[in-house]
A and B are shown apart, each in its own frame.
Chain A
Amino acid sequence: GAGVSQSPSNKVTEKGKDVELRCDPISGHTALYWYRQSLGQGLEFLIYFQGNSAPDKSGLPSDRFSAERTGGSVSTLTIQRTQQEDSAVYLCASSLGSAGPYEQYFGPGTRLTVT
Chain B
Amino acid sequence: TQLLEQSPQFLSIQEGENLTVYCNSSSVFSSLQWYRQEPGEGPVLLVTVVTGGEVKKLKRLTFQFGDARKDSSLHITAAQPGDTGLYLCAGEKNAGNMLTFGGGTRLMVKP
Which A residues lie at the B interface, using CB under 8 A?
4, 31, 33, 35, 40-43, 45, 48, 50, 56, 91, 93, 95, 97, 100-109
Contacts and interface: CB of A to CB of B under 8 A. Distances in A.
Contact of A108 (B35, B42, B90): B42
A48 B100 CA distance: 13
Contacts, number: 71
B40 A42 contact: no
B30 A101 contact: yes
Contacts of B41: 108-109
Given A40-B106, A100-B31, A48 B42 contact: no
Interface of B: 2, 6, 30-31, 33, 35, 39-45, 48, 50, 86, 88, 90, 92, 95, 97-104, 106
B42 A101 contact: no
Given A43-B43, A109-B41, 4 more contacts: A42-B103, A100-B97, A104-B90, A107-B42
A88 to B, nearest CB: 13
- The winner among A42, A104, A105 for most chain B CB atoms within 10 A is A42
B98 A41 contact: no
Nearest to A4: B42
Nearest to A96: B97
A95 B31 CA distance: 15
B106 A109 contact: no
A103 B99 CA distance: 9
Nearest to A30: B97
A50 B92 CA distance: 16
Contacts of A41: 103-104
